[in-house]
Amino acid sequence: KHGHSFSDLNASHKKLLVQQSRSGCNCNPSSLQACYSQRNLANRRLSSCNSQVRSLGAQRSSLLRQVSGLRSQYAAVVKQRDVLQGQLNVFVRYQNYGWKYYRGSFYYFSTSKANWQASRNYCTARGADLVVINDAFENNFTREVKRIAWIGLYRSGSNWRWVDGSYLSSRASYWAPKEPNNSGNREDRGEIWLYNNIENWNDAPWADAN
């Protein structure tokens, strides 16, 4: 009876081991304790794996956000580059036609002589206008033409106005000494005159060929 029950026990232990091995516990069948401790180890590994998965998930969303940020930065830089390339093309084209660049504007000093209105037409036909001298820098720059040349200044009643519509009284002016003198009562346009002086403008009749 004793032997019978031991053999039963042995058989049921074997069955148990078979069940455990079916359920995936891959341990040494000689020790149940070793099996538990391997299971516990596996559980710890599993929970460490889970927290790595969670942390990788968080890293992934952060990386996806970074990628989308970089994509929009890239698009902005591409746009900026295209704008700059366009400006460079304009720059090169103007320079090839003899225009001079100074402080944000292009200038063309024609060598042909014409009256004020014809000179202005020459400018407007080229998408420009006679020069409006805004400050001492621009005045110095235009004096470098080193010859008499029309500027975009005209008499309007008792005022002088620039071709952009502004009144000279609201701006710096660089009239030569004793100018504008309206000589012969017919000097109604401004010109670069004593170009070696800071104060260099003169009034002259519009029909003069400068």
Residue 199 DSSP symbol: S
The label of the residue with tokens 């591409």 reads: 78
Number of residues counted as binding ligand NAG (CB under 6 A)? 16
Task: Tell which one of 14, 60, 93, 186 touches ligand NAG (CB under 6 A).
Answer: 14
Question: Which residue, among 183, 186, 191, has the nearest Cα to 205 in the 3D structure?
Answer: 186
Tell me how far CA of residue 209 lies from CA of 38, 85, 112, 117, 128, in angstroms.
106, 40, 9, 10, 20
Least distance in angstroms from the C-beta of 103 to Ca ion: 9
Distance CA 102, CA 131 (A): 12
Question: Which residue, among 165, 159, 167, 208, has the nearest Cα to 187 in the 3D structure?
Answer: 208
- Plot region of 172 (φ>0 → left; ψ -120 to 50 → alpha; else → beta): beta
User: 122 vs 205, which CB is nearer to ligand NAG?
Assistant: 205
Least distance in angstroms from the C-beta of 160 to ligand NAG: 14
Does position 138 bind ligand NAG by CB under 6 A? no
The span of 54-62, 64-72, 146-154, 199-207 binding ligand NAG (CB under 6 A) equals 199-207
Least distance in angstroms from the C-beta of 161 to Ca ion: 14
User: 188 vs 203, which CB is nearer to Ca ion?
Assistant: 203
- Applying CB under 6 A, which residues contact ligand NAG? 6-7, 10, 14, 136-137, 140, 178-179, 181, 183, 187, 198, 202-204
